[in-house]
Structures are given as structure tokens and as C-alpha cells.
Amino acid sequence: AQSVSQHNHHVILSEAASLELGCNYSYGGTVNLFWYVQYPGQHLQLLLKYFSGDPLVKGIKGFEAEFIKSKFSFNLRKPSVQWSDTAEYFCAVNAPQAGTALIFGKGTTLSVSS
């Protein structure tokens, strides 16, 4: 069965620190990859996505992610976090051959102190 692993449950950073959240998935075929974010009191929203092409994708609010096929990874990065980045981050995978449903990781809570 497909699964998604997020390495960190809770990350605590100071403003201006760099961020990297790990995500690995288990599926051998073609995948679409996503990072979603849920800010306190808000809906889940798409941060960025990868379907094909350049494995380094840029999303909203200065976030980027790199797809490394050989490692089955799709890590999220941001060079300098802000207090407003405090949120829960979810990595998700879709396997097109299996339909359009998303398979999520358990989420990583990011707390940024000012």
C-alpha cells in the first residue's frame, strides 16, 4: 500500500532560521506530489505541487521543494522562516494509476518564535 512519511512531528524555529521538512513516499510508479499547509483556524491550502519536469518547484510564500526520485523524497524548504509560517504542513501524494485521491503524511507542526 502507498504511504507517506513525514520525518518530524513538531519543529520549533526562531525567525530567520532555515527550514527543511522531510517527506518520503512509498510507491514505485508515477506520482504527483504536494505540500499543503493549514494555518491556525484556516483551511488546508496548497503550498506547491510537482507533476513533472524541473524537480525543484517553487510555491507560495517563498517555499520550495525538491523531488528526488531515487530517494522517493519531496522535502520542503524555506531559507528564512517568519512568525507567520507557524502552521501545520502536510506532504501528500497522488498515484494517477490509482485514481485522484490524495495520500497524506501525518503532518508536521511548525512553530516559529519571533
Partner 1 sequence: EAGVTQFPSHSVIEKGQTVTLRCDPISGHDNLYWYRRVMGKEIKFLLHFVKESKQDESGMPNNRFLAERTGGTYSTLKVQPAELEDSGVYFCASSLRLAGSYNEQFFGPGTRLTVL
The residues binding partner 1 (CB under 8 A) are 4, 32, 36, 42-46, 49, 51, 90, 92, 94, 96, 99-107
Shortest separation between residue 3's beta carbon and partner 1, angstroms: 9
Are 51 and 67 contacting, i.e. CB atoms less than 8 angstroms apart? Answer: no
Are 96 and 114 contacting, i.e. CB atoms less than 8 angstroms apart? Answer: no
Q: Which is nearer to partner 1, 61 or 106 (CB)?
A: 106
Shortest separation between residue 9's beta carbon and partner 1, angstroms: 9
Please report where in the chains the cell 518520503 appears, as a residue. Answer: 24
Separation of alpha carbons 107 and 44, rounded Å: 12
Shortest separation between residue 89's beta carbon and partner 1, angstroms: 12
Residue 92 carries which side chain, given as an amino acid letter?
A: A
Q: Which is nearer to partner 1, 3 or 80 (CB)?
A: 3
